[in-house]
Every structure is written in structure tokens, then in C-alpha cells.
């Protein structure tokens, strides 16, 4: 899917798979294995958030975007998580995310300068967890066991996930944050994102609009996903661990990809190239499609997609 070029010499490769569908589900682009189940990791979060809205979760749009996020741990992200919890009558002690530093380097250094520590609220999945807890409170479900796959919340999420992807769940695992992670194929993931982006009403439309309005809440102020969304009005996007990524355009076309070795550096490169191959044009895509390879502090090559 991508090659690493240094001083004109191809020194390495990233292999993976990518699929693009139109709004009707017709395949526009296909490379690699797009039908076998994968854990798309945090790409599933908008689909999980949609299920929570269907279960009665009511959040302001910025907080709903945060429920879809793998946030950078910037101050406004942490404050937002605390707002979700406070609205449910809870505090961060209810979170079962592992303690972590902010993903964002500047945010992490700011915490460390103040002698701060790793904390569950700073972990990138804390927005999703806070929303899960709030959904439990709305429904009178137990909050201590909200991560159990047998919990009513997780059952509702799984049922909605199957409906959106139009595929059975072949495997259920434990995500990095401790929540259940459900498998789907890349085709199923693209199908689900297409459904969400084109929804005219209901939970899907609410989630899509939150992502559109607050892209930095879904990721961070210095993240490539936010830059892509700013360049593509009406689109939604979500990246996930192990180099998974899904983007859906306002017209219903959707792209889902995974890099086999989990290298995050190849993820935005391949996505940008796939969107360009679909005829989507923007300087941000041109920039993201070629990531510089450094030597002596200057660009001496690039990481570029290979979709031919």
C-alpha cells in the first residue's frame, strides 16, 4: 500500500488493504483483502456513539463528537469528558479507562510541568467511556460493569453495529481502553460510514453532524484527521489503532483501510491517495499523500502510496 523512499531508493514497504464504496454500496476501489474480519479499533467509535444515542443518550454536539473521539488529551478534551460525567451525576472515578498521558505532545508536557500524572480522564478513549457511563445512567443500568460484553449497553452496541455493517460479528476482543471491540470487514466498515454520513435524521444524522461541526473534538487541534475534515466539508472520519481508518464523503462515498503492520505513518498517506484516486481534490490531500522522510533534519525522501 505504501513505500518508503530515501534518497531515491525504496528502502521499505507497508502492506495492507483498502476499499471504497459509493452510496449504493458499489465497489469503486479495492486493493488487498477487504472481506475478512478485522478489528477496526477506534474507527468503530462513531458507530458505538450512534448506538448510545439510540439508547437515549443526549449530549450537546461538541460532547457527542467527544464521545466519538480518540482525543489528544488537550485541556478542552479533558474538560469535555468531565462535563459528560457531571451531566450524569458522576465524576472521573467512574471511568475504567487505564491511566495515561495525553496523546498530544504539548498537552503531555503541560501536564508534566505542573507535576501532573497519568490519569484515566486523560486517556484518549475517555470521551467514549464517559458517554457509555452516561448512557447507563439514562437507562438505569449498572455503571460498575459497563465494559462487560454481557452488559445491556454492550449488547445494544453490538446489535446496532451488526445492522450498520450488514455483517455478523465474527470476533469480539478487548480494545486498548478495556471496552469490547467488534470485528467487521473493511467493506462492512465502509458501508456503515456511508450509512451514517448520508443519514437525514435520527441517531446517525446526529452523530455525523457532531463530527462535522467539531472535528478537533474527535481527534485534536494538530491531528491529520481534523485537517482532512476541514478540507472536505460534510465528510466524517475516524482513525483507529493498528493503522485503521475510515472516511465518508458527503455524497455517500466511503473509504476504509488498514495497514497490516499497524504503522500509523502510512495511514494518512494511503487514505489521501485513495481519495485522490476517487477524484477528490484539495491541497491538504496532496500534502498528506506524500509524507517526508528525513535525513539530517531535512526531507530526503517520502512515504508514498502504491495503489496501482
Question: What is the pTM for the complete model shown?
Answer: 0.96
Strand pairing report for 180-184 and 236-240: unpaired
Helices (H), 219-303: 224-231, 267-277, 283-288
pLDDT value, residue 153:
98
Of 159, 290, 289, 282, the residue nearest 232 (C-alpha)? 282
The DSSP H or E segment spanning 292 is: strand 290-295
Residue 16's domain spans which residues? 2-305
CATH label of the domain that carries residue 201: 3.40.710
pLDDT value, residue 191:
98
Helix axes 186-198, 152-165, angle to 10 degrees: 90
pLDDT value, residue 84:
98
* Burial class of residue 171 (count of CB atoms within 10 Å of its CB; 0-12, 13-18, 19+): exposed
pLDDT value, residue 27:
98
Q: Around Cβ 110, how many Cβ atoms within 10 Å?
A: 15
8 A C-beta contact, residue 141 and residue 151:
yes
Of 152, 148, 158, 193, the residue nearest 25 (C-alpha)? 193
Number of folded domains that form the chain: 1
Q: Could you tell me the strand order of the sheet in which 172-174 lies? A: 38-39, 180-184, 172-174
What are the angstrom distances between the C-alpha of 198 and each of 19, 68, 192?
18, 17, 10
pLDDT value, residue 308:
80
pLDDT in tens, the chain (308 residues): 999 999 999 999 999 999 999 999 999 999 999 999 999 999 999 999 999 999 999 999 999 999 999 999 999 999 999 999 999 999 999 999 999 999 999 999 999 999 999 999 999 999 999 999 999 999 999 999 999 999 999 999 999 999 999 999 999 999 999 999 999 999 999 999 999 999 999 999 999 999 999 999 999 999 999 999 999 999 999 999 999 999 999 999 999 999 999 999 999 999 999 999 999 999 999 999 999 999 999 999 999 999 98
DSSP 8-state secondary structure symbol assigned to residue 72:
-
pLDDT tens-digit map of 21-63: 999 999 999 999 999 999 999 999 999 999 999 999 999 999 9
Helices (H), the chain: 45-54, 61-67, 75-87, 105-113, 126-139, 152-165, 186-198, 202-213, 215-218, 224-231, 267-277, 283-288
* Cα–Cα dist 49/93, whole Å: 21
Amino acid at each position: 500500500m505504501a513505500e518508503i523512499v530515501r534518497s531515491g531508493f525504496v528502502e521499505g514497504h507497508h502492506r495492507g488493504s483498502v476499499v471504497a464504496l459509493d452510496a449504493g454500496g458499489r465497489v469503486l476501489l479495492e486493493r488487498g483483502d477487504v472481506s475478512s474480519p478485522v478489528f477496526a479499533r477506534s474507527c468503530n467509535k462513531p458507530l458505538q456513539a450512534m448506538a448510545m444515542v439510540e439508547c437515549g443518550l443526549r449530549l450537546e454536539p461538541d460532547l457527542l463528537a467527544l464521545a466519538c473521539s480518540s482525543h489528544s488529551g488537550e485541556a478542552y478534551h479533558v474538560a469535555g469528558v468531565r462535563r459528560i460525567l457531571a451531566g450524569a451525576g458522576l465524576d472521573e472515578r467512574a471511568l475504567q479507562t487505564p491511566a495515561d498521558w495525553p496523546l498530544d505532545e504539548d498537552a503531555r508536557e503541560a501536564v508534566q510541568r505542573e507535576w501532573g500524572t497519568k490519569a484515566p480522564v486523560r486517556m484518549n478513549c475517555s470521551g467514549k467511556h464517559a458517554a457509555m457511563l452516561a448512557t447507563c445512567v439514562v437507562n438505569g443500568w449498572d455503571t460498575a460493569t459497563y465494559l462487560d460484553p454481557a452488559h445491556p449497553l454492550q449488547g445494544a452496541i453490538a446489535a446496532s453495529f451488526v445492522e450498520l455493517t450488514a455483517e455478523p460479528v465474527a470476533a469480539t476482543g478487548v480494545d486498548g481502553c478495556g471496552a469490547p471491540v467488534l470485528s467487521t470487514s473493511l467493506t462492512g466498515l465502509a458501508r456503515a460510514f456511508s450509512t451514517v454520513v448520508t443519514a437525514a435524521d435520527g441517531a446517525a444524522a446526529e452523530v455525523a453532524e457532531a463530527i462535522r461541526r467539531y472535528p478537533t473534538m474527535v481527534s485534536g487541534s494538530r491531528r491529520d484527521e481534523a485537517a482532512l475534515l476541514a478540507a472536505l466539508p460534510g465528510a466524517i472520519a475516524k482513525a483507529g489503532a493498528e493503522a485503521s481508518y475510515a472516511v465518508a464523503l458527503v455524497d455517500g462515498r466511503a473509504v476504509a483501510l488498514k495497514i497490516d503492520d499497524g504503522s500509523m505513518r502510512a495511514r494518512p498517506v494511503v487514505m489521501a491517495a485513495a481519495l485522490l484516486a476517487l477524484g477528490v481534490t484539495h491541497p491538504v490531500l496532496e500534502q498528506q499523500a506524500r509524507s517526508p522522510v528525513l535525513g539530517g533534519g531535512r526531507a530526503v525522501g517520502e512515504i508514498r502510496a502504491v495503489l496501482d
